[in-house]
Amino acid sequence: MEVPIPRYFLSERAKVLQERQEVLAGLLTRVAPSKTVTPPRPGMPREEAVRLIQMAERMRQGRLRARFMWEIRRDEERERKVRESGLSEPNRELAATCIQKELEPQLLGPSAAMIRAQLGEELRRMRQADYEAEYREALNNVRDAIYEVEGPSMCEALKEQLRQWFIECHDLLGCFPDYPDEAIGGCSVLFAHRTPEEVRVELDLAEIKTDPKKKEKEKVAKPEKKGQEKKVDEDEGLTLSPSKFLQTINQGFLMYTGCWSDRDEAIHFEQQYEEELIRTEKRKEVEMEMRLQVNELMRQELLHLKLAVDQQETKPPKPHKARKSAKKKGKKGKKEKDLTPDRTIDSLYEELVLQGIIKKPQKVQLADYMGDFCYLGTILRQQEIEPVPSTLDVRQNVALYAVLRLGSQPVHELAPLVKSLLLAGPAGTGKKMLVHAVCTETGANLFDLSPDNLAGKYPGKSGLQMMIHLVLKVHVWEVQVSRLLQPSVIWVGDAEKTFYKKVPKEEKEYDPKRLKKDLPKALSLLRAEDRVLLMGTSSKPYLADIKGLCKTYERILLVPRPDYASRYVTWQRLIEKHGGIVTGSLDLSALAKVSDGYSQGSLAQAVTAVLSERRLLQLPKRPLNAGELLQMLARADPIYPEEEEMLKDWYNKTPLGKRKAKAEEDKLKAAEGFQVVFLEAGGGAGAAMEAPGCPDANLLPRPSNLSELEGPQRATVGVQGHGCAECPVLRRPG
């Protein structure tokens, strides 16, 4: 099962994305180098020009004559074959139908059914936009109508209820009550339908909020439950916590069952807005506005009543003072200094584009990262062999960690926070393509902070700080920009260069490690609600300091070379994508087997080189064969086993690799032995314990020193030759 990418990521922001692309295209035209103007050629003599025209005309007439003679010979050959075979005249209509069937997909493009489906979808999108505009307009119109028609009556009804409450309280207590404070909801708390238990709980919570010492006393006095300490010490392992999305799903389900499940939608084909539902929703908003107005009026009226009846003058309440602890907290938090206070976001965006930091991502879909799942994973695990992740496993993880989080704000807020992702694998396995696919699927901006791209830009420490400041300010410092320029992907190509153990001599002048300290700091400045993801790609991560690399990148995905199933699918789709036809003369299975060890990039280069425009014209007469592709593939460098081993060894040193290795080690230890509980009753040290009911079981020696055993006197011993099918004591096969 593969999680699909929702279409609304792009469709709902189509207008914003179109405007951004136009701005980016305009800025990129200024960056592109101006075309060099070639000097004009010297004038040609008239005699030379006439001679060239005559030569070209004679060649054209020669080609036409040759074509005409070839058609004559072809027709004569057909007539001769018909006379020799004794067959009648060939059916021209049948031949034309066959040719049309072959050429229709290539020449005519999409079929009529596909065109109708596309037009229907576009029409639905346009109709949705029109209905959305009508709905937004109806929200304002209905709200204004309710405010004008029902607002005055709501206001008078609330005033009458509050005056009645004033009189009842004065009759019972002998004085007028205090008006509820605005902080707890004003008069709305008087009309809330709640049980006495709910009111008591609310009062207790209010007391705890006003008196924090009481809260601490309750914590101390609270008795610990039985087995609570035991649960804390236990390792939960892979126990999944409840999903944060369940509450949203339940709310949607309750809304559906309470509002929509009983409605008959058979006659509501147009699916326009329901005015009655809007009235119910807007009536609550108008009522809340009326309450706020009534609160102010009745508070003043209550003051006048107290002054007139009870001769009591009430002082206005003092504003709440901020707590000292909050002050101290505010002092500790340092605010990032704005290095460009007088510049607009548009000017910063333009500077980053002109400097080559913001780039236009290549238009590539995540589905273009071709491959297949590893269907033998379960069988390999049964043989105690850990399968290598397939290309579709990598694609699925990129969709979960990057695409869904960047494309949806609710998913980003509710899912576990992931700020950075590293794609590590051999060259040509599609790491850069995945970065561009994430930007394409989510409409994200692409910021290129690769060491090679930063060479010579923003020199010095102050220049580096300015660049980091510009990138972050465009993301998170302004609310309006967060809406326009998020989501964003910060890409660091050749991520190992930023954390080099030892910088090569030829790269020292470019200072590839200049972002080593500032990149983690910049990552910590990103807030939880910012849809910004740091993506790194590396083909040689073992050259970097593993501690700094793993500290910066929270998640690391190992991108392996394609397996047999992925190579088979990749060959097939690449050939079809470039206009080729897979026929019986092309053995894809053998081609996928022989191309083991090559990356997807090498396969794509081979297909592009073979299927040229001239070769595509020759396909009807000379079908494609595997030898042509292998001849081009042999020119590319394969992925050597030594390189794969270095990548696996490096991955085993990462935090996730260490945890995985520890889990496998524990599994092996558990498989090598079993636990036997030695009872205190029975023989002394060195005595033997029999396995009753098992005649063929050898005696299991008891340890001489029971005090050395961990836990409730346990020891791990090997299974000794049990001849029976299953030992009744050990409950394991002999």
- What average pLDDT does this structure show over 467-493? 69
- Let me know: does 452 contact 493? Beta carbons within 8 Å: yes
* Residue 534 three-state SS: strand
What are the phi and psi torsion angles at 285 (to 5°)?
-65, -45
pLDDT value of residue 479: 37
How would residue 677 be classed by pLDDT, with cut points 50, 70 and 90? very low
pLDDT value of residue 400: 92
22's tokens: 């136009």
Spatial CB neighbours of 657, under 8 Å, sequence gap ≥ 6: 651
* Residue 703 pLDDT > 50: no
Mean of pLDDT over the chain: 78
Highest mean pLDDT among 29-38, 96-105, 176-185, 275-284: 275-284
Q: How many helices, marked H, and strands, marked E, lie in the chain?
A: 30, 10
How would residue 339 be classed by pLDDT, with cut points 50, 70 and 90? confident
d(CA 292, CA 188): 9
pLDDT value of residue 206: 59
pLDDT value of residue 88: 60
pLDDT value of residue 198: 60
Is the alpha carbon torsion for 100, 106, 111, 112 positive or negative? negative
pLDDT per residue as tens digits for the range 110-169: 778 888 898 998 898 888 889 989 999 999 999 999 999 998 898 898 888 888 888 888
Q: Which of 440, 405, 433 is nearest to 526 (CA)?
A: 405
pTM to 2 decimals?
0.69
Q: Which of 66-80, 82-96, 380-394 has the lowest mean pLDDT?
A: 82-96
Q: Which of 494-508, 589-603, 677-691 has the lowest mean pLDDT?
A: 677-691
Contacts 24+ apart (CB under 8 A), 60-69: none
pLDDT value of residue 700: 43
For 637-648, b where at least 16 C-beta lie within 10 A, e where not — what string?
ebbeeebbeebe
pLDDT value of residue 260: 83
pLDDT value of residue 383: 83
Q: In 223-344, which ranges are continuous DSSP H helix?
A: 228-233, 246-255, 275-305, 324-332
* Residue 278 three-state SS: helix
Name which residue leads in pLDDT, 133 or 328: 133
pLDDT value of residue 187: 76
- Residue owning tokens 């592009």: 608
How would residue 398 be classed by pLDDT, with cut points 50, 70 and 90? very high
* Residue 573 pLDDT > 70: yes
Cβ burial of 539 (10 Å; 0-12, 13-18, 19+) is: buried
Q: Mapped to the 3 state alphabet, what secondary structure does 47-70 carry?
A: HHHHHHHHHHHHHHHHHHHHHHHH
* Residue 725 pLDDT > 50: no
Q: Which residues pair with 534 in a beta bridge?
A: 420, 490
Residue 663: HSE in the Cβ half-sphere, 13 Å Cα cutoff: 12
* Residue 541 pLDDT > 60: yes
pLDDT per residue as tens digits for the range 13-25: 888 888 888 888 8
Spatial CB neighbours of 214, under 8 Å, sequence gap ≥ 6: 207, 208
pLDDT value of residue 218: 47
- Residue owning tokens 């008069």: 187
